[in-house]
């Protein structure tokens, strides 16, 4: 595992990740819009469309939004389900959760639950949820295989896993443009807007080191999931991986 340009162990990586998100929490939502040119909204909408939560609330639909941070995915699921889904936002970072709770209050979403938890070691019983979502979160988790097997464990049989994450651009020219943008511009925007160049260097480096579409698919299968597949968005800048627990 690495952070920046040196090798670190899982505990050390988590500590560094935590300091990044404590540092950016207050500006996190603004920075997402700036860095992605608003695209993160479309990527997140696409994920929740794929989830397609039931709209009536007649049958139970419990979702765990892991690494849910400031609530973007949870709010979309709530609206799509006519506020009937039972949603738990879990994150390891209390600063991100605090921003999320405040945003939920402002939207009148009082049925959301915010829980401090580590994706590698979840405090829920086996077979607790119909769906597990994680958006731009798994890349930050030091031991991805542990997070995937915990996801598998807490899902009910038939439960679905959906993971949105930065991935690998596989298109001539576009890949070069993307590298230029991410290595040069992103840290500068981070410096000017968030006054935090280091955190955004981490962001770019962590994206570059994350396994590509096929390798990540194999990891999800190794955790026990069936019918694993992925959809690229924006030429593979982002990929949505899905799987089912049978
Ligand atoms: N899902 C939100 C979104 O799409 O806007 C937030 C994504 S944010 C880039 C990544 C989140 O992962 C942070 O809130 C961070 O605290 C969380 N995170 C990092 N390591 C984690 C871990 N081991 N367990 C749970 N959450 C973790």
pLDDT tens for each residue of 157-215: 999 999 999 999 989 999 999 999 999 999 999 899 888 898 889 889 999 999 999 99
- Residue 39: pLDDT above 70? yes
Residue 218 makes CB contacts below 8 A (sequence gap 6+) with none
The response to whether residue 73 sits with its C-beta less than 6 Å from ligand 1 reads: yes
- Residue 23: pLDDT above 80? yes
The response to whether residue 165 sits with its C-beta less than 6 Å from ligand 1 reads: no
Write the DSSP assignment of 85-140 as a string of letters. SEEEEEES-HHHHHHHHHHHHHTT-TT-EEEE-BTTB-SS-SS-EEEEEEES-GGG
User: Is 125 assigned to a binding site?
Assistant: no
The response to whether residue 21 sits with its C-beta less than 6 Å from ligand 1 reads: yes
Fold of 2-244: Rossmann fold (3.40.50)
Residue written as token pair 């994350």: 210
- Residue 151: pLDDT above 50? yes
CA-164 nearest atom, ligand 1: 4
- Residue 10: pLDDT above 60? yes
- Residue 3: pLDDT above 80? no
Query: In a 3-state reduction of DSSP, which class is residue 75?
Result: helix
* Domain range list for the chain: 2-244
- Mutate which of 8, 99, 140, 200 to test ligand 1's pocket (most atoms within 8 Å of Cβ)? 140
> What distance in Å separates the CA atoms of residue 214 and residue 218, rounded to the nearest whole number?
6
pLDDT above 90 covers a percentage of the chain that reads: 83
CA of 96 to the centre of ligand 1 (A): 8
pTM above 0.90, yes or no: yes
The answer to whether 236 and 210 are in contact (CB under 8 A) is no
Average pLDDT over residues 34-51: 96
The response to whether residue 95 sits with its C-beta less than 6 Å from ligand 1 reads: no
- In whole numbers, what is the pLDDT of the chain averaged over residues? 94
The response to whether residue 199 sits with its C-beta less than 6 Å from ligand 1 reads: no
- Residue 105: pLDDT above 80? yes
Residue pLDDT, tens place only, 75-98: 999 999 999 999 999 999 999 999
Q: Give the 3-state secondary structure of 165-228.
A: EECCCCCCCHHHHHHHHHHHHHHHHHHHHCCCHHHHHHHHHHHHHCCCHHHHHHHHHHCCCEEE
pLDDT above 70 covers a percentage of the chain that reads: 97
The response to whether residue 35 sits with its C-beta less than 6 Å from ligand 1 reads: no
Take atom 18 of ligand 1 and give the residue whose Cα is closest: 67
- Residue 1: pLDDT above 50? no
Taking CA atoms, 68 is separated from 90, 130, 190, in Å, by 6, 17, 21
CA of 172 to the centre of ligand 1 (A): 31
pLDDT at 126: 98
């Amino acid at each position: 595992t690495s952070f920046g340009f040196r090798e670190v162990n899982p505990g050390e990586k988590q500590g560094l990740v935590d300091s990044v998100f404590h540092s950016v929490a207050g500006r996190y939502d603004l920075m997402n819009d700036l860095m992605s040119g608003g695209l993160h909204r479309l990527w997140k909408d696409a994920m929740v469309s794929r989830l397609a939560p039931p709209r009536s609330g007649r049958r139970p639909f419990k979702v765990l939004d892991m690494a849910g941070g400031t609530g973007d995915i949870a709010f979309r699921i709530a609206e799509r389900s006519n506020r009937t889904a039972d949603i738990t936002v879990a994150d390891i970072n209390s600063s991100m959760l605090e921003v999320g709770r405040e945003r939920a209050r402002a939207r009148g979403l009082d049925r959301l639950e915010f829980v401090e938890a580590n994706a590698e070691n979840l405090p829920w019983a086996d077979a607790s949820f119909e769906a597990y979502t994680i958006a731009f979160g798994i890349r930050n988790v030091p031991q991805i295989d542990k997070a995937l097997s915990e996801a598998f464990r807490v899902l009910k049989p038939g439960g679905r896993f959906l993971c949105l994450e930065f991935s690998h651009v596989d298109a001539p020219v576009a890949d070069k443009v993307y590298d230029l943008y991410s290595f040069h511009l992103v840290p500068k925007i981070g410096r000017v807007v968030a006054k935090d160049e280091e955190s955004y260097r981490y962001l770019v480096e962590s994206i570059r080191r994350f396994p590509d579409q096929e390798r990540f698919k194999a990891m999800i299968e190794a955790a026990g999931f069936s019918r694993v597949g992925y959809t690229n968005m924006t030429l593979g800048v982002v990929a949505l991986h899905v799987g089912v627990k049978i």
